[in-house]
Structure 1
Amino acid sequence: MLTWLYAPADRPALVAKALAGPADVVIVDLEDAVAPDNKAMARAEVVALLATPQPRVQIRVNDMRTTYGQVDLHAIGGLCAGTAGIRVPKVESAEEVRDIARAVPGVELHPLIESALGLERAYEIASADPAVAGVGLGEADLRADLGISDEAGLAWARSRLVVAARAAGLPAPVQSVYTDIHDLEGLAESCRVGRALGFRGRAAIHPAQLPVIEAAYRPTGEEVSAANDVVAAAGVGAVALPDGRFVDEAVVRQARSVLTDAVRTPATTPTMTG
């Protein structure tokens, strides 16, 4: 999976359009995208949505330290077993994760790390419970907490998260959203940097961003050809290819990951208006 698209829970028409589109996962958002006065209505819409299995839906609940978050978990937690899990914002400790896992057994959890304290505890959070299926950064909040003014300042935090995820045996993390929906060139460059740091795919806040994310994370023809050469040489121990590239099991694993991403169908840009 390479693309995740946020849709506000209090706008069911947008959720439906997102689900009709090409995103691998639609993140139905009860948190930042929903005004306080609409929280109850948004929660009711999610309950209705989850009345049928929704394997492409992930729910972002509110901060568990708030009443909104606690009510979210009580209302929708038991309905999320047939989904892509719950995205939990502003996580700062392994204990928080374990508490949620006990409350919603059998549901995948995706903690978001959005503060300096959470980042310091990234591995503890990633390895807190078998229910954790992935971790991510909430970069807007993290920037505010750290006083970071540009993407370059996020490099260490991003690398820290990649290492924590892999050390915990989790998939490579997904990049946080790029908030300027008109700056597609900036998005492409940011994705290029993220991919080089070890991320795999990205969340979007507008469907126009999806093809850019696909293009940035999908392997090029040259990369696919090189990966095929490596996989063809697998099973014979460490070996050097005719062009000088050295192949061992670690290189083969990376090549197979490239080929997995290469077989995806490219995203198109659907219309997503209110």
Structure 2
Amino acid sequence: MSTGPAEPWLTWLYAPGDRPDTVAKALRSGADVVLVDLEDAVAPGRKEYARRATAELLSAPQPVPVHVRVNPLAGAWGQADVRALAGLPGLGGLRLPKVASPQDVVAYAELAALPREADGSGAGHRVPPLWALLESALGVEQAYAVARAHPAVRGLALGEADLRADLGMREEAGLDWARGRVVVACRAAGLDAPVQSVHPDVRDKAGLAASCARGRALGFLGRAAIHPRQLPVIERAYLPLPAEVAAAEEIVAAAAADAGAQALPDGRFVDAAVVAAARRTLALGARRG
């Protein structure tokens, strides 16, 4: 299993699987998780090379968690991607594109549990952690069912470019409802808060910061990036401010008294859910410190 920074993870950096040099740079970028992309970032003529290069990389543990976005199972490459990568020691998780139903997740999971042809042992594999990408109106409508589809599911994420095209949205603000739906589905299913989709303009740091602030307000935690220069902006946006850390310390201290639900002197109400959120804030605050 890959080593790397302790969760919660805030920065997830995409790198194309057919560019091993770029993947190597991503592993040194400081991102919490590297996302090797075999899907949209790789041209059809490079798919097989990308798969081989990624399998070679993941034949050994990596310094940070490495997740791979595979191709859809319905196409020519998805099944080969999953069969080649499942069970490799450096694989931290699979990102499943264009998920529209819980059955899609189950199909990926069942394929990942099969032995690789190269093993020759006949033994199956433990299903790696799975992140389902919802990229259509149907996928968003099925968010909770997808989140509960298999025990290996660790999270959901939106594929916002495809979703905006599917819904005919002209402005990012139109995504707020879908984003909120995914946040609620993750929480209802007992999963971690979802990670925001990428901000496509790598030069627009102000726009990225504003979009991250909006995502944080909606309940997201962290964001995927397509360039290392975006990582510091994302981390700053999602790390708690000193005042937030101080407030969280008060809540945790009050909870230590084991007095059940109670109100602090300033009127804030403290119960189990509030305490859990405060502890997460302190964990994030330790990163800033």
Place the TM-score, normalised by the shorter chain, in its bin. over 0.9
Q: Which runs of 5+ in 2 are unaligned?
A: 1-8, 114-125
**What is residue 231 of structure 1 aligned with on the other side?**
252
Q: CA deviation at 1:265?
A: 5.4
Q: CA deviation at 1:72?
A: 1.0
User: Which amino acid is 2:219 matched to?
Assistant: G
User: 2 CA distance for matches of 1:129 and 1:206?
Assistant: 32
For structure 1, which segment, 131-140 or 241-250, has the greater mean C-alpha deviation from structure 2 after superposition?
Answer: 241-250
Name the SS of the counterpart of 2:36 in structure 1: strand
User: 1 CA distance for matches of 2:271 and 2:94?
Assistant: 37
TM-score of the pair, normalised by structure 2: 0.89
The correspondence for 2:171, drawn from 150, 159, 163, is: 150
Is 1:75 aligned to 2:98, yes or no? no
User: 2 CA distance for matches of 1:265 and 1:193?
Assistant: 20
**What is residue 121 of structure 2 aligned with on the other side?**
none
User: 2 CA distance for matches of 1:210 and 1:247?
Assistant: 33
Map residues 1-274 of structure 1 onto 2, 5 A cutoff: 1-54=9-62, 56-79=65-88, 82-105=90-113, 106=126, 107-234=128-255, 235-264=258-287
For structure 1, which segment, 237-246 or 191-200, has the greater mean C-alpha deviation from structure 2 after superposition?
Answer: 237-246
Percentage of pairs with the same residue: 60
User: Which amino acid is 1:172 matched to?
Assistant: A
Per-residue displacement from partner, 1:110-138 (whole Å, max 9, x unpaired)? 11000011111111111000011111000
Q: CA deviation at 1:97?
A: 0.7
The alignment of Structure 1 onto Structure 2 pairs a total of residues equal to 265
Runs of 4+ in 1 over 3 A off after TM superposition: none
Per-residue displacement from partner, 1:27-55 (whole Å, max 9, x unpaired)? 01101111111111111100110110235
Q: CA deviation at 1:77?
A: 2.3
**What is residue 271 of structure 1 aligned with on the other side?**
none
**What is residue 5 of structure 2 aligned with on the other side?**
none
TM-score of the pair, normalised by structure 1: 0.94
CA RMSD of aligned residues (A): 1.3
